[in-house]
Amino acid sequence: MLLRFSRVLGLTSLAGLIVLWAAPLLAAPRLYDFTLPSIDGNSTPLSTYKGKVILLVNVASRCGFTPQYSALESLYEKYKDQGLVILGFPANNFGAQEPGTNAEIKTFCSTKYNVTFPMFAKVSVKGGDTTPLYQFLTQKANPAVAGEIKWNFTKFLVDRNGQVVARFEPAVTPDSAEVVAEVQKLLRQ
């Protein structure tokens, strides 16, 4: 039956049908396939971070969780030489708590919290205009961590192979035993 179907499509072999069928599966996005503008506007492929343990965080400057910037920076400073990178994605989806421009956000982060980890241009993490990266993180990356972003400072932890392995909700701080233990475990792998 498959061979008959392949002839109907004009394919000369069963192998052609298999390739046609598998193409959408092979084209499924992976974390490293995304390229986003940095907070300075430079095009930044996430493949730049291949081989690193990555903590992706949607951040905001006027949120009750904003002091987590300090813990994020401390975690980054402590483990960056072992292969951890933290990626900050400003988002204005919750209570208009990130109203500034990219330049204003960068200034705020560097002067108030001495942020040195990579920051990206403002994105949307929820709703009809959700950036493709966050569509991937919340829908396709890993069913165990899927689901809509509920608030600022939701954290996704990615292993050295680009697999999203854990999600931490906003109330779980970057310096919590839970986050630190997972980061340490992935850094040892």
The residues annotated as belonging to the active site are: 63
Residues 36, 108: Cα–Cα separation, whole Å: 21
**Dist. CA 107–CA 125, nearest whole Å:** 22
Concatenating the DSSP letter of every residue in 144-160 gives GG-S---STT-EEEE-T
Question: 132-141: which pairs have CB atoms within 8 A and are 24 or more residues apart?
Answer: 132/29, 132/34, 133/34, 133/36, 133/46, 133/89, 134/58, 134/89, 136/29, 136/31, 136/34, 137/56, 137/164, 140/28, 140/29, 141/31
Please report, as a single letter, which amino acid is at residue 1. M
